[in-house]
Amino acid sequence: SGGAKKYKVVLLGESGVGKSSLVLRLVKDEWIESQHSTVGASFFRYACHLEEGTTVNYDIWDTAGQERYKSLASMYYRSAAAALVVYDITSADSFERAKYWVRELTTNSPETIITLVGNKCDLEHQRKVSFDDAKRYSQEMGLLHCESSAKEGTRVQTIFVEIARKLTAT
Ligand code: GTP
Ligand code: MG
């Protein structure tokens, strides 16, 4: 009951961490090895059905991670109900960049629910960011945290279900 609720979600993070790949896995359950680097931002819709019969409709903005688009990001995260701040578990630099986005969001958009997402967890043998460090940081900052693989489809839907639960609980 209560009908469908609609929320704006933004993906932020360094170029190449897999933001577009996560969205492609989410909305089409597809994977392409040679995903093109995003220009500006892309828009997607996704309906998330919860067990109790509630539907949450997401308006998803997949932003471009390249440096030249950095100043545009605030247009996309402004008024976002939720943000996925994505890093690549094989790149310490991408984790530092994720922390930058977390600071930016907590300063300029304090109501936005943030999930820190460590993507490419299929590349365990190349890991540079420990799960525990990222978990500890997330707890300190009050963020949701998980690791995903867009390539293997690990935990991609789950992220959006957890956000939906948090959004509909408030
Ligand atoms: P920008 O649009 O430039 O900001 O990059 P992005 O964050 O959207 O990254 P994108 O989805 O384009 O992925 C970059 C590269 O990482 C691509 O070659 C993907 O195939 C690869 N990739 C994405 N997700 C995964 C993953 O979960 N595992 C592995 N092994 N590779 C991935
Ligand atoms: Mg992209």
pLDDT tens for each residue of 14-72: 999 999 999 999 999 999 999 999 999 999 999 999 988 889 999 999 999 999 999 99
CA of 154 to the centre of ligand 1 (A): 14
CA of 42 to the centre of ligand 2 (A): 8
Cα 77 from Cα 109, distance rounded (Å): 7
| 8 Å CB contact between 107 and 118 | no
What's the rounded Cα separation, in Å, for the pair 29 and 122?
A: 17
* CA 115 to the chain's CA centroid: 6
C-beta of 42 in contact with ligand 1 (< 6 A):
no
Ligand 1 pocket test: pick from 12, 35, 43 the residue with the most ligand atoms within 8 Å of its Cβ: 35
Q: What is the ipTM of this complex?
A: 0.99
pTM exceeds 0.95 for this model: yes
pLDDT tens, 119-136? Answer: 999 999 999 999 999 999
CB–CB of 88/94 below 8 Å? yes
Three-state SS at 163: helix
Ligand 1 atom with minimal separation from the 152 CA: 27
